[in-house]
Chain A
């Protein structure tokens, strides 16, 4: 009896080790190729295959939506995910590993940018093909990418800097409304702002400007929080930023010029998947650059010991102000994108529920980590979609889950991990 259970645990240990070595030998390029083949497979045979399994259509979201709506379909959903995604990805990744390792190595002979662009191109192809299957998927993909931007921008403040800020919904709102006013005023015939000033055809060229304006307005708003909060040491930020969030919301509610409580609509549909994808990539790149520079690391020094940071010549106040405004800027850009994805915003979108969601993404994924922000944003987005049938109970389950994570991994799933692009794309060492 004991011998057999020992044998069993040996087997599980062995299989764990072999899965680990298997995973560690496949370069990112191999995973991307696998994913590409999986989504291609789904594209061509997904629907008939789903029907054969007794599913009404190809799974919209990896079976997440089925879990609560139609539990009796779960076995079919699992089979679908296994056969369409997991097995093809695994097989392709495994069988192409040695070639892909050579290729990844070759790519690094050129400037790194070249290899990065190829990886991003593949990633985009995967996302694009996957979201091509339905409008719903397209929306989910764009929301997830925006969530990554928001989570990362809040992680700068709550993770890297170790303060507790609650003002992000306010920054999102400022970004969403400023960018919307800019585009609607200039390019759309609208009942609030009247006729368009410029032809709509040239509008998309101005969309980056709209987003940057959204970011800048949010950054200026951030000053209103940062100046009183960082004047002295102490934990004023949490309370001031919470107040800021409510002030922004009621300000917009009372501003008839932008629709007041009824909201603002008819934003042009310029936030397409490629645009959102590019913005998210840009955000990750710039934010990651920042947090890995000495100026960004100064945030960690201020968080871990402010007195020591000061004594080592770090201008702690400037460091905090800059980081706070920088985080707000990206939240503003994300807000602008969000407004042009949903094409209707109202002040209610930017309330305490939004705050809870963003905080959950940050703390679930992991503090002080770009990987964490990505995992947190995607994980909570998927979970949110899966729990949608529960309506309000969603807001019981997500916080509960968050409490569990806090108990077992107080800093989140993937905390304090450097996002080193070179390490990510280089070929993996194959152990003999």
Chain B
């Protein structure tokens, strides 16, 4: 059975066709990559799946349930965790608060617990705190727990954002250029983290990347998007050797 399936999805921004007849079929536990030049529509595809935009046409199905028409928070609690290309963090909140926030839909103590601090609330908050600590230490940023997230170094912020996405216990994790702006050292660490997350949680991952090295090493299948259309899909080797891809995209970059 497929985990995330998309059928002929098309989206227009006014007159601009940003995505055209997009298809996807990710099975549980797979790592997929999405590459393509700037403005190809990669982030738009993430935003369409996660409910930020509604596709003009096409059906999106996650583990058997249709996502079309649902609001972003519903889709998120159904099992899609994500990070953002330009990192969307909460500027007044601490690292711990960030990760705990993603447990929102898992809490059941409700408003009564929130108002009166019932034992059930203490218990659930303690559990989610423990979970947050675990994730932060997996990400190697547990030394920052009580700091305001904007005071962290860039690479650490990226990892907090990823820990936050994992805290909601997603079925699939969307990463929008997780290594953007990182130095070679941070890059190696991030790749290790992504691999660990995939292995430890058996999590499916869908990742947008500009650096070929990252996609080629991490992904089992890759799609190449140009002007909103998938021009090639296949294994890393197939993509690397596809003349269309080389022509439209790889030609400019050296494949390491």
Contact = CB atoms under 8 A, between A and B. Distances in A.
A300 B102 contact: no
A1 interface: no
A409 B121 CA distance: 35
B105 interface: yes
Contact of A308 (B71, B84, B109, B128): B84
Contacts of B107: 294-295
Interface stretch (A200-208, A313-321, A370-378): A313-321
B90 A300 contact: yes
Contacts of A64: none
A304 B50 CA distance: 20
A338 B8 CA distance: 62
Interface of A: 286, 289-290, 293-298, 300-301, 303-305, 307-316, 322, 368, 416
B92 A307 contact: no
Given A310-B76, A311-B82, A313-B76, A294 B89 contact: no
Given A304-B92, A307-B52, A311-B50, A289 B102 contact: no
B97 interface: yes
A322 B112 CA distance: 12
Given A300-B92, A309-B101, A312-B164, A294 B52 contact: no
A293 B102 contact: no
A305 to B, nearest CB: 5
| Closest A-B pairs by Cβ, 8 of them | A304-B90, A308-B88, A313-B105, A310-B72, A293-B114, A312-B102, A313-B77, A313-B76
Q: Which of B52, B89, B90, B125 has the most chain A CB atoms inside 10 A of its CB? A: B90
A305 B101 contact: no
Nearest to B99: A312
A293 B168 CA distance: 17
12 contacts: A286-B116, A290-B115, A293-B109, A294-B104, A298-B101, A301-B101, A305-B88, A308-B89, A311-B76, A311-B84, A312-B168, A313-B76
B93 A313 contact: no
Given A297-B97, A305-B88, A313 B102 contact: yes
Interface of B: 50, 52, 71-73, 76-77, 82, 84, 88-93, 97, 100-105, 107, 109, 111, 113-117, 121, 125, 128, 164-165, 168
Given A289-B114, A297-B97, A313-B105, 6 more contacts: A295-B104, A301-B93, A304-B89, A305-B89, A307-B52, A314-B104
A293 B121 contact: yes
Contacts of A304: 89-93
Contacts of A416: 92
A313 B104 contact: yes
A312 B97 CA distance: 12
Given A286-B115, A289-B115, A311 B90 contact: no
Contacts of B97: 297, 300
B19 to A, nearest CB: 19
B118 to A, nearest CB: 10
Contacts of A296: 114
B129 to A, nearest CB: 10
B152 to A, nearest CB: 15
Contact of A301 (B50, B90, B115): B90
A295 B72 CA distance: 18
Contacts of B101: 294, 297-298, 301, 309, 312, 314
A207 B168 CA distance: 45
Nearest to A367: B92
A295 B97 CA distance: 11
Given A295-B111, A304-B93, A310 B103 contact: no
Nearest to B82: A311
Contact of A294 (B50, B77, B100, B117): B100
A367 to B, nearest CB: 10
A316 B104 contact: no
Contacts of B50: 311
A286 B112 CA distance: 10
Given A294-B103, A308-B88, A314-B104, A322 B168 contact: no
A311 B121 CA distance: 23
A312 B92 contact: no
A193 B92 CA distance: 51
A312 B165 CA distance: 7
A289 B115 CA distance: 5
Contacts of B111: 295, 322
A409 to B, nearest CB: 15
A421 B197 CA distance: 38
